[in-house]
Amino acid sequence: MSTHIEHQAPQGREPLDVNDPRLSRFDIVQEGARRDDIEIVHYEPQVVPGSKAERRMTRTVATFFLLTGLAATAFLVVYIWWPWQWEPGRGGDKWYTPLLGVTLGIALLAVGFGILTWGKKLLPKEVSIQDRHDQPSSSEDRRITGETMLYMADELGVRRRPLLGASLMAGLAPVGLVAAAPLVGGLIQNPHKNNQMFTTGFKPVDGKKIRLIREDGRPIRPADVSVGGQLTVFPGVDGGVSNKYADSPTLLIHLRDGDAEKSRVANARVGHGDYMWGNYAAFSKICTHAGCPASLFEQQTNRLLCPCHQSQFLITDNAKPVFGPANRPLPQLPIEVDEEGFFVAKSDYTETIGPDFWERP
Amino acid sequence: MKRRKFDVAAVPARTAGALDDRFSAATPLRKLLNKVFPDHWSFLLGEIALFSFVVLLLTGVYLTFFFEPSMAEVVYNGSYAPLRGTPMSAAYASSLDISFDVRGGLIMRQMHHWSALLFMAAIVVHMLRVFFTGAFRKPRETNWIIGSLLFWVGFLAGFTGYSLPDDGLSGTGLRIASGIILSIPVIGSWVSSSIFGGEFPGTIIISRFFIAHVLLIPGLLVALISVHLGLVFKQKHTQWPGPGRTNENVVGERMFPRYAIKQAGFFLVVFGVIALMGGMFQINPIWYFGPYEAWVVSAASQPDWYVMFLDGSTRLMPGWEISIPIGDGYVIPPLFWPTVVLPGILVGLSTMYPFLEARRLKDYRHHNLLQRPRDVPARTAVGAMALSFWVVLTLSGGNDVIADKFQISLNAMTWAGRVGLLVLPPLAYYITYRICLGLQQHDREVLAHGVETGIIKRLPDGRFVEVHQPLSAAEGHEGLDYVGWVVPKKMNRLGALGPAVRGFFYPIEKPAEAPVSPGHPPVEPRPEREEISSGESRH
């Protein structure tokens, strides 16, 4: 059954009569291949039937398949009986997903390797040569197809009846727009509705100044922030501590005396002389680069670092960007303490919060 | 009535006949069964992408049964105790439920994520294979373009999917995405508010991303992948040069059964590896990140690996803004260049590359034979340049982690990235070009003078020379011509030493008789080697 075929020139070959009873099944396969311009030039069984090598390979493949059955069963056992509900601590439930993965993985890998071994080791090796036939169509066919298409245009008579073409175009153009209109019209939102890009939750409501509150909603007294300390604060409005006011989170910093003095000088230089209250300054936490919260405050250098792209802002110099990709300072919130002793925003931010955009003044 | 005897053996033939009567399927089916595929391990990289995509679809459909794409605020009351009582979006809560309260949901989620990473990785590696071997040349430019588009559509699929759980990390990514959109000149703020339905984050983005992630983008992926495979089928696969292989033929195996069986096995292996990874390696543990809150972020927040190069370019970009002093003033923020312009250039360059190269070389012929990277030094060097550019950006995307782990200044890392981005690519170009030329020269040398035998001969005048084994048998050898394929450079490749003994842990065949001394011909002539063989066998 060792079928080693020598290469034969396919040209000028008589097609075989496939109904000839003397032909073997392989002869017919080979004839079929030839009719598709394929020459099977080398075909060789890898194992001798009945040989020790064949039996060994068969056993290997069978072992793989049985291993799959075993692993799949193990998967089901784990899935049904292993404790899976989350418990605190290092309980058995932490092994649930890994065990599922291992059993499923082994099941799939074993059947995969079984099939691969079957295909690679037990099936005959062959080398076939197929003609590519990637030449373009014949020039005759090209001409026929081209003329046919042009003839279609002739039949339609677009050239003789230009009005039809023009009116169809004129008619279809609005139809295309009709398809686009509901989508664009439905999605489009004016970014400047309610002046939302230039206001935050700290905008005074009915002339009433907005308090600075903590994450738990309590207002803040100056004594709540220790020297050198900082606190994330929010506008004391409904929903102020939520993503509804994603542009409002602010960092309240209690500077040390020397740093506060530097800050005041810097403030005065840009006309923000009264933005600080005592040694306290408040800056927007939303990075002016891409909008991440710039939240890593280095007390020693008074630098605020945004962990997303490492923009660094020097707090004592109006939060000017000193390193990284940001191009403008963090806006400063003018603050003071109201008659009850809590921090309030004197007004809304006087500069635009968050990532830069085209029409930011 | 006489009952006819039912002949079971005739059923398949009868059924097949009946089918062919109706669909005349036999002739096209014969062609399909007979189709010849060339074989080489590097042709399987794209299949990894295809198979991971199948796993993505399977696990993704499962996840949709439990995921709730809504930003409505709920209070978590599931079984993960540390987050109980926390207000969060329904999307995040249902993602937690998939992880903790759906039995086996976590492994599905992790398999989905791992297969997404594998999908993108396989696309990139496959693309490198196609690039460095010149498989994109005419007539396959269309498939190259579709392939590059698949990367970017896969990128979108990854980003939208990554954003869906609405956890602390993905929300930060979404925030950056909104910043990127805002940075587009003139229309930025309009596009952003239209996508987010108002100011960031709004209440609708998760639902919109959901339908994009589960319908629009997968639909596009399926369409592109179908065309991609259809074209591979129609245009027939490229092949390596080698004995009997020409530009006009395909040398390999017929598709059925051996080739198809190997594909099926390979699919299951890929699936199995994803299952192992999904079970054993934790990925995106959203319960540690908490719900997205605009004021919370942690250090070392990195995106998935295939987005890291854009994160890196964003980090390296200096804060240069362009202000336009008209009216109230307009700005082009620095964020625009590394996140909108750079990807635009990358898409343009990569899709246009086949045409650029053909134009430069004035080569408009059909190419069905692959090229070894060394034989086209300019292209290989360009590829190395692109790779080094990408590696610098990707490493910069994690430069805070590198700075932390290796105790390097963060700013030094940024500067190293900025300098490296400009210096390393040209350097990579030059070095790669020289290496290619060196390898070419060595090939020619071996073809002209033969293989080094390791035998040192002392000449009568006292000089030492190494004996070379010429490759051509002809007397007065002028050497052989280079044909674009591997040149044997070791004696055992020539059969002068016994081939390596086969077997994994123990030999499964008797070691071949080793010759008495290397360089001498073997005692018995070795059996004839096949004159034509597929790419997988050793030459």
Q: Which of B112, B335, B505, B536 to mutate to test the interface with A (most CBs of A within 10 A)?
A: B335
Q: Is pLDDT of B206 > 50?
A: yes
C-alpha B98 chain-centroid distance: 29
Beta partners for A327?
none
Residue owning tokens 């009582």: B85
Q: Are A358 and B314 within 8 A, CB to CB?
A: no
Compute the distance between CA of residue B52 and CA of residue B17 in angstroms, rounded to an integer.
37
From chain B, the residues in CB contact with A104 under 8 A are 107, 272, 275-276, 279
Q: Which residues of B touch A330 (CB under 8 A)?
A: none
Q: How far is CA B498 from the centre of its chain?
A: 37
Write down the pLDDT at residue A12: 56
Across all residues in chain B, what is the average pLDDT?
A: 90
Determine the Cα angle at B21 with ends B19 and B27, to 5°.
Answer: 80
**Distant-in-sequence, close-in-space partners of B336: CB < 8 Å, separation ≥ 6:** B183, B184, B185
> Could you tell me if B329 and A361 are in contact, meaning their C-beta atoms sit under 8 angstroms apart?
yes
Q: Which residues of A touch B365 (CB under 8 A)?
A: none
Q: What are phi and psi of B75, to 5 degrees?
A: -105, 125
Best mutation target among B205, B255, B267, B268 (most A Cβ atoms within 10 Å) is B268
Confidence tier at B6 by pLDDT (50, 70, 90): confident
pLDDT given at position B536: 45
Of residues B519 and A108, more confidently modeled: A108
State the average pLDDT over residues A277-286.
95
Tell me the chain B residues in contact with residue A192 when contact means C-beta distances shorter than 8 Å. 189
Report residue A95 as tokens: 């092994």
Interacting residues of A19 by C-beta distance below 8 A, sequence separation 6+: none
Please report which confidence band the pLDDT of residue A266 belongs to, taking 50, 70 and 90 as the band edges: very high
Residue of chain B whose alpha carbon sits nearest to that of A309: B315
| Chain B residue closest in CA terms to A186 | B194
Distance, CA of A76 to CA of A94 (rounded, Å) = 17
- Nearest by CB to B275, which of A101, A327, A359? A101
**What's residue A159's pLDDT?**
81
Percentage with pLDDT > 70 across chain A = 96
Contact between B225 and B53 (Cβ < 8 Å): yes
Chain B residues lying within 8 Å of A312, measured CB to CB: 411
pLDDT at B513 over 60: no
Q: Which fold has domain B35-238+254-351?
A: Cytochrome Bc1 Complex; Chain C (1.20.810)
Return the domain boundaries, chain A.
1-132, 139-173, 212-345
Question: What's the pLDDT band for B344 if we cut at 50, 70, 90?
Answer: very high
Residue ranges of B 391-410 with Cβ closer than 8 A to chain A = 399-400, 410
Tokens representing A73? 């069963």
**What are the tens digits of pLDDT across the range A160-172?**
888 988 899 999 9
Candidates B372, B386, B341, B354; CA nearest to B146 is B354
Instruction: List B residues 287-306 in contact with A (Cβ-Cβ < 8 A).
Output: 292-301
CB contact under 8 A, B35 and A104: no
Distances from the Cα of B195 to the Cα of A198, A209, B192, angstroms = 19, 33, 5
Residue A213: what pLDDT?
Answer: 96
Determine which of A97, A288, A296 to mutate to test the interface with B (most B C-beta atoms within 10 Å).
A97
Using CB atoms, which residue from A86, A114, A191 is nearest to B189?
A191
**Least CA distance to B235: which residue of chain A?**
A134
pLDDT tens track for B413-450: 999 999 999 999 999 999 999 999 999 999 999 998 88
Instruction: Check CB contact of B268 with chain A, cutoff 8 Å.
Output: yes
In this complex, do A356 and B335 lie within 8 Å of one another by their Cβ atoms? yes
The CATH superfamily of A212-345 is Rieske [2Fe-2S] iron-sulphur domain (2.102.10.10)
Domain boundaries, chain B: 35-238+254-351, 450-487
Say which residues have a Cβ less than 8 Å from residue B187's Cβ, sequence separation at least 6: A358
Residue B347 Cα, gap to closest chain A Cα (Å): 23
Task: Tell if the CB–CB gap between B194 and A292 is shorter than 8 Å.
Answer: no
Interface subset of B 79-118, CB within 8 angstroms of A: 79-81, 100, 103-104, 106-107, 110
Q: In the structure, what pLDDT confidence band is assigned to residue A7 with cuts at 50, 70 and 90? A: very low
The count of residues in chain B is 539
pLDDT for A8 beyond 50: no
Residue B5: strand, helix, or coil: coil
For CA atoms A226, A230, A235, A237, give the dihedral sign.
Answer: negative
pLDDT tens across B91-116, in order?
Answer: 999 999 999 999 999 999 999 999 99
Phi-psi region of B301 (alpha: psi -120 to 50; beta: other; left: phi over 0): beta
